[in-house]
Amino acid sequence: MLDYKLGLEFAKQQDQMDELAPFRNQFHIPKDKSGNNLIYMTGNSLGLQPKTTKAYVNQELEDWANLGVEGHTEGRTPWLPYHEFLTDSMAEVVGAKPIEVVVMNTLTANLHFLMVSFYQPTNTRYKILIESDAFPSDKYAVESQLRHHGFDDEEGLILWKPRKGEELLNYEDLEAILKNHGQEIALIMVGGVNYYTGQSFNLKHIAKLGHHYGCKVGFDCAHGAGNVALNLHDSGADFAAWCTYKYLNSGPGSLAGCFVHERHAYNKKLNRFAGWWSHNKQTRFNMRGEYNQLPGAEGWQLSNPPILSMAAIKASLDMFHEVGIEKIIAKSKKLTGYFEFLLKQLGEDTIRIITPINPKERGCQLSIQVKNADKTLHEKLTESGIISDWREPDVIRCAPVPLYNSFEDVYRLVEKLKEIL
């Protein structure tokens, strides 16, 4: 554990010793009206743009302009197999095998397509378990799945709740729910990292528990991909999905990632929706042959992918591959630990961190409650050049992202907060 110290000099010293510090210069940092860098702490909502992104996207625009349809095969990065150029790097980021990963669609769309396969309710086993404060889109998605299959969306939804007066979820409570209701639950779908509290879950433990009771298990890893060590293959989860525009810096509304465990790779009996991009690549353009499903996660694709979005993802993933997810997580722990250290200096009578104190149970985000404060505090932070994220009723989320945030960023953020308070 790093021995943290107070003062700007310590922050600058840490930045000088940080081997990832040069990567900050590879991102566009938003500026205020005077041209000064803003302190950007919302990579958990939208990651910053790598400076290489424009070149990657422009290459595809130029190939489209110069080659037209021939860009599918003759482009510098041919479009026909373009999604395959993302697979290995994405698999490294989420701890999966290449056969288990594909980039396609958007996050909630992927969750629905995966539930077509892995939510197979019966009259006696049809309920879905999620965390009580799941990201709203996840809750809407599973409620609509219950209704689609003819079940009551209130009666069919089981919520894993924190204990009274607490924000974090307890595994003993999950075990109790499964002991009492496991035979009724068809699917467990939990966020890998909770968007509100920043609590990172033990995916392997949850998957093992769920499978013990005969449930299928999937994860929404939107706040985990590029932030924590997901180790999706080793987790044993049946499926997972994640967006790429937060910690993976691919641009607003960009494509999402999809994981299906390799034990399902060749199971053609799994119910699923199909489209021509999940059909055998060798015969895909014969057009009139019978459907021949691809193995692995690719077999869940539907349509040919949007290349311009994938080009932006490739720009980011190439950087992740260069740095390595292990180094990113190592710096993240130091940076967020420093953030926590400085916040604690403000006193527990002023600041309360609801994110887990144990670094193994969180990513880079800290969710902060400031006593007797409302959204005007967040607005004052914004006016002072701090871009953070307000979540009702009383939480400011800050995520010092290791690729582009510095120790000095963290120091200046806390100084501004202290000044405003």
- The CATH number of the domain where 117 resides is what? 3.40.640.10
**Domain end among 263, 294, 322:** 322
Please report, in tens digits, the pLDDT of each residue of the chain (421 residues total). 579 999 999 999 999 999 999 999 999 999 999 999 999 999 999 999 999 999 999 999 999 999 999 999 999 999 999 999 999 999 999 999 999 999 999 999 999 999 999 999 999 999 999 999 999 999 999 999 999 999 999 999 999 999 999 999 999 999 999 999 999 999 999 999 999 999 999 999 999 999 999 999 999 999 999 999 999 999 999 999 999 999 999 999 999 999 999 999 999 999 999 999 999 999 999 888 899 999 999 999 999 999 999 999 999 999 999 999 999 999 999 999 999 999 999 988 888 999 999 999 999 999 999 887 788 888 999 999 999 998 888 899 999 999 999 999 999 999 999 999 8
Q: Are residues 135 and 25 in the same domain?
A: no
Q: Which domain holds residue 24?
A: 8-51+325-420
Cα–Cα dist 386/412, whole Å: 9
Q: How many helices (H) and strands (E) does the chain have?
A: 13, 13
State the CATH number of the domain containing residue 346.
3.90.1150.10
Residue with tokens 């890893």: 221
Which residue, among 206, 222, 224, has the nearest Cα to 109 in the 3D structure?
A: 222
Let me know if residue 284 belongs to a domain: yes
pTM (two decimals): 0.96
Let me know if residue 63 belongs to a domain: no
Q: Are residues 282 and 360 in the same domain?
A: no
How many CB atoms are closer than 10 A to CB 205?
13
Q: Are residues 330 and 244 in the same domain?
A: no
Q: Which two tokens stand for residue 243?
A: 């967006």
Do residues 232 and 297 lie in contact, with contact meaning Cβ atoms separated by under 8 Å? no
- In eight-state DSSP terms, residue 23 is G
Q: Which two tokens stand for residue 188?
A: 């467990």
